[in-house]
Amino acid sequence: MSLSRVRYIDIPRVEDPRGNLAYIQDHSTPFPIKRVYYLYDVPGGATRGGHAHVECESIIIALNGSFDVSLQDGHNHKTFHLNRAFTGLYLPTMLWRELENFSSGSVCLVLASTLYDESEYIRDYEEFIKQTRSE
């Protein structure tokens, strides 16, 4: 997969002086959502991710605070900064991801296209490189 398929997704929202509301429905995502998880209380300087998915697509959202999503496709590298609760980052399969530079109190929400299945993760970077360069 190429980094060219990664894109920001605008999350529909309703602005209100009493507080804003954002919502996500299946028709507003590029895949049906099968799993939702979130990262919080990430210590300063910590990095999360460090893997690629063979089958799972995802959308990453900074619900609170900010962080960087560093992506590699085996040939190219690009970093995306997330800091708005109404903007998601769509990640197709076979991209090495690392999440870093978490601000204090940040919350990272992930919408996933598959249920958790450890066998579809690639956790070894050298194996990821071998697989992406043999395509």
77 classed as catalytic: no
Q: Which of 93, 130, 96, 79 is nearest to 1 (CA)?
A: 93
Distances (CA, A) of 116 to 56, 66, 75, 81, 100: 9, 25, 27, 26, 22
Catalytic residue among 27, 51, 53, 75: 51
Per the CB < 8 A criterion, the answer to whether 10 and 23 are in contact is no
Dihedrals phi, psi of 119, to nearest 5 degrees: -70, -15
> Catalytic positions, please?
51
